[in-house]
Amino acid sequence: MDKIYITRENIVLVIYLEYQNTYCIYLTLCVKIILVDKNFGEELMKSIKGKILIAITACAILSVLVSSLLITSKGSSGIYDEARSRLEYQSKEIGLRIQALLTNTEVTIEKTASTIENTVDMKKYQIENSYRSLTSNNLKRILTDVAENLDGTHEAFFIIDPTLEIDEHQISITNDETGAILNKVSLDISSFNVSDETAPPAELAWFFEAKLAGKEAVDNKVPIVGIWSEPYYDEDAQKVLIKYVRPIYKYFNFVGVTGVTIDYSVIENQINAEKVYETGYAYLLDQDLNILAHKLYDVGTDLLSLGEGVKPLYDAMMNSDSDVKEYKLDGKKSISGFVRLSNGWVVGITPPIKEIFEARDGMNRIFIIVLIAVIVISSVIAIILSSMLAKPLNKVTNALEQVSELDLQQDDNVDKLMKAKDETGKMAAQLDNMKTALTEIVLRLQGLSSELFVKSENMTIVSNDSMESINTVYA
């Protein structure tokens, strides 16, 4: 949408470019018309030189404005499309990096669960001390290998079915400053004795959720999959952890749950370190679109609570695995690219809109400089051309003024102008012809005047002679 404001003392051109529902100030040009005298503009328009000057300058300005507007419009569209592609690619790239950690964890625990399922005989484990000791050592080596080689691992563990009558139900390997060590803290197995496994204590919900999910998968004859927890603060570790657990069933019987706890900072640091354009940032949401990591908002904040303007982004995240979406945050237009991870989390990135169009703004500044240069150059050219055109016209005008004052003497300026082959030459020739015609008329009038004077003298003489004759007769 173009808007042009014109006042008596100033011409102000303000052009707005509407794109993607955004009004961007494209160019503001103020040209002072009245510089010294308030009647300067009116006097300028009265002269041919001024009209030519204004016409040439205006044409040059309009040409630059129209061309720059078209180029900027196309450029803005191209910049916006490139920004969408960039956000899509970058969100998928950081998503792939975090997904690689999740996938590596899932694959490692899946192999661990498969090894336990295929190598451990739980009946022998219960009744044979030697088998239990040997198997326990093998499980410790397996879990130690997981703890040492899986990035970010704080603990690798295997919890055996709490209903089995054995002394130790947990094998746990913990990483600390010295490396992977056996966790010798005994598991309080009595806490696992719950009356309703669908409503266990909060601290054990992850265990029974995994157990029930595994039973459902076995009953439905579908593959058993692991479960990711939300980030939580562990008082013993004094850090935020996330947990991935996978239930183990053998011949429809529950064996136990194996899994790992991972230092959440491994993921959070990747989110916080991500650079989007200059000052943009990445963020992380859980499967319900509550904030897990964000530069501006607290952990646990519901995405929809940020305002009605984010609903387009919310809907897009709920309905697609990846996209680039526009929305409003705190009343300001925003854009975000996002991708959903295998555990339901969403990784997103968002840059300031102004940084997306920084290249366009730079291009606009160049056009303004070019426009100013065009105004100066066109004005100089216009002054030269108008002077060249006005000079012969002024000479013709001066010659006409001389004729109007009945000065029909030969004019060298007219003689020079007659040599020109343009309109001024024709005007000079016609003016010369007019002067010649007027000169002939004047000469003829002079001749007639002399003739009349002679005849008048003769008539006077005759009249005098007649009077003398009359006087003589009467005398």
Reported as a single tens digit per residue, the pLDDT across 268-287 is: 999 999 999 989 999 999 99
Find the range with the poorest average confidence among 176-180, 225-229, 235-239, 361-365: 361-365
Q: What percent of the chain clears pLDDT 70, i.e. is strictly above it?
A: 82
Q: Is 34 a residue whose pLDDT tops 50?
A: no
Q: Is 471 a residue whose pLDDT tops 80?
A: no
Helices (H) and strands (E) in the chain, counts: 11, 15
Beta strand 10-19 pairing with 22-32: antiparallel
CA 366 to chain centre: 18
pLDDT at 2: 41
Q: Which position has the higher pLDDT, 14 or 330?
A: 330
Q: Is 132 a residue whose pLDDT tops 80?
A: yes
Q: Is 83 a residue whose pLDDT tops 60?
A: yes
Cα–Cα distance, 123 to 369 (Å, whole number): 86
Residue-wise pLDDT tens digits, 160-206: 999 998 888 999 999 887 888 998 888 888 899 998 999 999 999 99
Beta strand 232-234 pairing with 291-293: unpaired
Residues 300 and 289: beta-carbon distance below 8 Å: no
pLDDT at 256: 96
Q: Is 260 a residue whose pLDDT tops 90?
A: yes
Q: Is 364 a residue whose pLDDT tops 90?
A: no
Q: How many CA atoms lie within 13 A of 112 on its CB side?
A: 33
pLDDT at 145: 95
Cα–Cα distance, 107 to 116 (Å, whole number): 14
Residues 5 and 12: beta-carbon distance below 8 Å: yes
pLDDT at 464: 76
Q: Which position has the higher pLDDT, 323 or 52?
A: 323
pLDDT at 361: 66
Q: Which position has the higher pLDDT, 317 or 398?
A: 317
Q: How many CA atoms lie within 13 A of 198 on its CB side?
A: 2
Q: Which position has the higher pLDDT, 102 or 330?
A: 102
pLDDT at 445: 80
The residue count for the chain: 475
Q: Tell me the pLDDT of the chain averaged across its residues.
A: 82
Highest mean pLDDT among 7-11, 355-359, 410-414: 355-359
Residues 133 and 162: beta-carbon distance below 8 Å: no
pLDDT at 21: 38
Q: Is 22 a residue whose pLDDT tops 50?
A: no
Mapped onto helix, strand or coil, the DSSP state of residue 248 is strand
Find the range with the poorest average confidence among 75-79, 113-117, 335-339, 369-373: 75-79
Q: Is 16 a residue whose pLDDT tops 60?
A: no
Question: Where residue 39 falls among pLDDT bands split at 50, 70, 90?
Answer: low
**Orientation angle between helical segments 48-119 and 358-404, nearest 10 degrees:** 170
pLDDT at 208: 96
pLDDT at 106: 96
Q: Is 413 a residue whose pLDDT tops 80?
A: no
Q: Is 15 a residue whose pLDDT tops 50?
A: no
Mean pLDDT, range 90-103, rounded to an integer: 95
Mean pLDDT, range 371-398, rounded to an integer: 75
Question: Where residue 114 falls among pLDDT bands split at 50, 70, 90?
Answer: very high
